[in-house]
Amino acid sequence: MPGSVQSIERAAAVLRLLAVAPNGLGVADVGNALGLAKTTVHGILRTLHQVGFVEQDRSGAHYHLSDAFGRLGESYLDPNELRSRAINWADSLAARSGEVVRVGRLVDAKVAIVHHVFRPDDSDQDLDVGTTLPPHATALGKAVLAYDASGAARPKRLEAFTTRTIIDAPRLAEELAAVRSRGWAGEFEEHTIETAGIAAPIRGLGGLVVGAVGLTGRIERVCDSRMKHRPDLVAMVRATAEAIARDLRGDS
């Protein structure tokens, strides 16, 4: 049976991004969200424009879905599918790291938890599935917020949970750019005192970020003596995100 066509997957991902960006997106915005080179994005947008699926604004700098194509909706992945694909990999990450592991996705400017693995010890813990987290104050949230090209999921008010919470919009923008650059997000007492976290985005078909997987724990376990996130844990989280992504895409 023939495999999927990458160019079509990428075009579909571009269309989904434009569907939730009422003000349109530029080539750089789409490239950052999908992790694609500008030349690749430009070629996709030019083709979609030629077939009538997208339009350019008067300046030519931004692209929108055309009226002929219509809106595609805000989400294409069933949260149950994300959870089912993530279960085995998330459970393994918790066992290897010894920390709490969560899988989440953006819903109405919050990170909704679709899977939660308890820390593998005998401590009392509450199940977080179905709860939400603030995207600007958690590693899990920043890992998905960084790829929200439209900005629609960014909280209108950046609430402070600790003295380390990022509540300045320009500073948050810099942090999200850093997340895109290195491919993972960190958290250091931004949501909960004495707690640190690491998360990585999960990319579905076409490279579209559909959620994130991350771990959280006490600072002395998640960070090294210099208070930097441990490289071995970062590697584990990123490998887990990629494994889940491969399952979602059906890669062999």
Q: Domains of the chain: which residue ranges?
A: 6-65, 79-249
Give residue 98's Cα distance to chain centre: 23
CATH class of 6-65: mainly alpha
Please state, in angstroms and rounded to a whole number, the distance separating the CA atoms of residues 48 and 151: 22
- What are the pLDDT digits (tens) for 186-235? 999 999 999 999 999 999 877 889 999 999 999 999 999 999 999 999 99
Fold assignment, 79-249: Beta-Lactamase (3.30.450)
Helix then strand then coil, % of the chain, to nearest 5: 40, 20, 40
The model's pTM is 0.79
Question: For residue 206, which of 40, 21, 25 has the smallest C-alpha distance?
Answer: 40
On whether the CB atoms of residues 204 and 248 are closer than 8 A, the answer is yes
- What are the pLDDT digits (tens) for 171-190? 999 999 999 999 999 999 99
Instruction: Kindly state the percentage of the chain with pLDDT values over 70.
Output: 93
